[in-house]
Chains A and B, each alone.
Chain A
Amino acid sequence: MPTDNQDFIEGLVGDLRPHQPLTLRRGLAIAVGSTALTVGIMALLAGLRSDVMTGHFNPVFLLATGLFLMLGVAATFAVISMSRPQVGNTHGGWMWAAAMAALLPVSAGVLGVADHGSAFFQSQPAQGIGCLVNGSLLGLITGGALTLWLRRGAPTSPQQAGLLTGLAAGSVGIFAYSLHCPYDDLYHIGIWHSLAVAASALAGRIFVPALIRW
């Protein structure tokens, strides 16, 4: 006569279906694909900056865009890692990338104080709101892909996974939109482009955990 535990195991065995494991390679392929799709859609809808087309880059643009891309890569890597739990895992690498990217708003703030508070007006607020909205919207592609990935995974901290999903989404989104945005001003980038990342991270922290089921 089967015991309760035997019944239980037999039930699970009967429910077994083949599953493709969430390997790092697959996760990175999805991340690269969603980033490429984001850039493609942005280029198609808004067009690329002239210096991106000609290859004569502005140094501030290169530095800022690179920082956002690296933050996106680091946060994405952390999300993929969190979906595959393991005692002994660490997910702190993204903090260094976030600290480096934070230099942009911090620098804008420091320079703004030196300029007696004129940073906000010099940051092109009217265009900045467009960057905030469009960067955040473009981030939905990466955010959606990572959220679907997380739903199959087993993040032991859904709240942090949500925050990092939003951070990755916002970073990739604003990276893509930076390839269109014509402003190289540190105030503009430090305030509005950073706000897109912060807003996405907040949205991820609020909405994504509820979508992760154990």
Chain B
Amino acid sequence: MIADDATMARLMAMSQAGDRQAYATLLAECQKWLKRFYARRIVPHQIDDLVQDTLLSLHRKIASYDPARPFLPWLAAIARYRWVDHLRKVYKADETGFDDSFAADSSEPAIVARISLERMFSYLPPAQARAIELVKIEGLSIAEASHACGQSESLVKVNIHRGLKRLAAMIEKE
């Protein structure tokens, strides 16, 4: 059974105040709600990924929820946005297959970028640097990266999120 709107709104208000226990409960409830929300709207094996992407958006945009308003319409708006974004990405991947292979062949710009990134990477915890390197630079899938570095798939995603956040904050750092 999934918690009702009032309960989730209360948990969210507590989460915005920094209550981690409430946040863990809220995310678990949202996860159940989102799985049902996305059921039959995307291919079944992609649901878990989309649910996690949506939870990540919820996490990043947590301030955009106003505790004076109902919770589920806010979550549904975020979920719809992610769903549309997901569909757009799938469409683009199908449509631009040739462009992707071309980009993979033109390796020189990537090498230049890699040199400058190496220095920034030295400031990251090794697990975050490895996850970003495997997925964002070498182009491995989350599953392949998980297999290559021994982190769970979820941990690879969390490490990429945290690592990119850190990298964004130190772009001008020498």
Contacts and interface: CB of A to CB of B under 8 A. Distances in A.
Contacts of A6: 154
A135 B16 CA distance: 38
B123 interface: no
A85 B48 CA distance: 23
A5 B15 CA distance: 19
Contacts, number: 115
B68 A23 contact: yes
Interface string B1-42: 000000000000001111010011001100100000000000
A136 B43 CA distance: 48
B110 interface: no
Nearest to B18: A18
Interface in B46-62: 48, 52, 55-57, 59-62
A154 B81 contact: yes
Interface centre among A24, A87, A153 (most CB of B within 10 A): A87
A16 B56 CA distance: 11
B162 interface: yes
B135 interface: no
Closest 6 CB pairs of A and B: A11-B158, A8-B154, A85-B77, A18-B18, A154-B61, A7-B154
Interface of B: 15-18, 20, 23-24, 27-28, 31, 48, 52, 55-57, 59-70, 73-74, 76-78, 80-81, 85, 152-155, 157-158, 161-162
9 contacts: A4-B48, A6-B154, A9-B24, A9-B31, A16-B15, A18-B16, A86-B74, A87-B80, A154-B78
Interface of A: 4-24, 83-89, 152-154, 156, 213-214
